[in-house]
């Protein structure tokens, strides 16, 4: 089970456009990034009145090579990106390097200090765990990495059966396709349940596994 959807944030009264940054990096899992991108880009493009934008961010602003060979382009570098209101950290094999990269962990901690909502997909939670963002908190990740999360921080309260875990200012999701569920939940939090249902219908997301 997942936590109930909190009331939507009132964005209509805000004159400032709010920004969602989707991090990309070499060996990012494709659907970890592209799944949330599909949800959030549809929402923000079709409903600019909600006051949100989404962009892809890489360390240097250059394209990255994803885990299965797809090249993904970035809109911004760490230096040129606008101030973020939401950060999404996908997973993939590249997180094994990033979770041991002191510069990257310092950047993540710095973002946590200024970004009001941080989220992860799949093994993006490993980076958050290594950075100390999940200490004593409920979280989830890809089922194959649950033990590694515990090794990084035994205080994390794992919810292995959850598609995503909303702990207020931190949301983690399970593996790969669960990022779509998390992104739809994010739309519900930021713009309301009906908006999220509209997006879900538009992208025809209605999982009914054939096997």
Task: List, as one string, the DSSP characters of 166-211.
Answer: E-SSEEEE-STTHHHHHHHHHHHHHH-HHHHHHHHHHTT-------
Q: Are 50 and 196 in contact (CB under 8 A)?
A: no
| Of 84, 122, 133, 188, catalytic | 122
Strands (E) in 48-197, as ranges, are 52-57, 64-65, 71-72, 86-89, 117-120, 138-139, 157-158, 164-166, 170-173
Closest CA to 138 of 111, 110, 158: 158
Catalytic: 56? no
Query: Catalytic site residues?
Result: 122
């Amino acid at each position: 089970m997942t936590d109930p959807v909190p009331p939507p944030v009132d964005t209509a009264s805000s004159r400032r456009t709010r920004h969602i940054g989707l991090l990309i990096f070499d060996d990012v899992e494709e659907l970890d990034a592209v799944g949330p991108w599909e949800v959030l880009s549809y929402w923000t493009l079709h409903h600019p009145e909600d006051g949100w934008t989404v962009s892809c961010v890489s360390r240097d602003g250059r394209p990255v090579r994803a885990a299965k060979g797809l090249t993904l382009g970035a809109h911004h570098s760490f230096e040129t990106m606008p101030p973020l209101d939401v950060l999404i950290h996908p997973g993939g094999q590249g997180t094994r390097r990033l979770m041991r990269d002191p510069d990257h962990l310092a950047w993540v901690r710095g973002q946590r200090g200024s970004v009001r909502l941080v989220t992860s997909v799949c093994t993006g939670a490993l980076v958050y765990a290594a950075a100390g963002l999940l200490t004593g908190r409920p979280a989830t990740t890809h089922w194959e990495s649950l033990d590694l999360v515990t090794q990084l921080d035994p205080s994390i309260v794992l919810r292995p059966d959850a598609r995503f875990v909303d702990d207020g200012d931190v949301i983690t999701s399970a593996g790969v396709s669960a990022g779509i569920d998390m992104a739809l939940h994010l739309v519900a939090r930021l713009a309301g349940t009906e908006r999220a249902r509209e997006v879900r219908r538009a992208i025809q997301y209605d999982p009914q596994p054939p096997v």
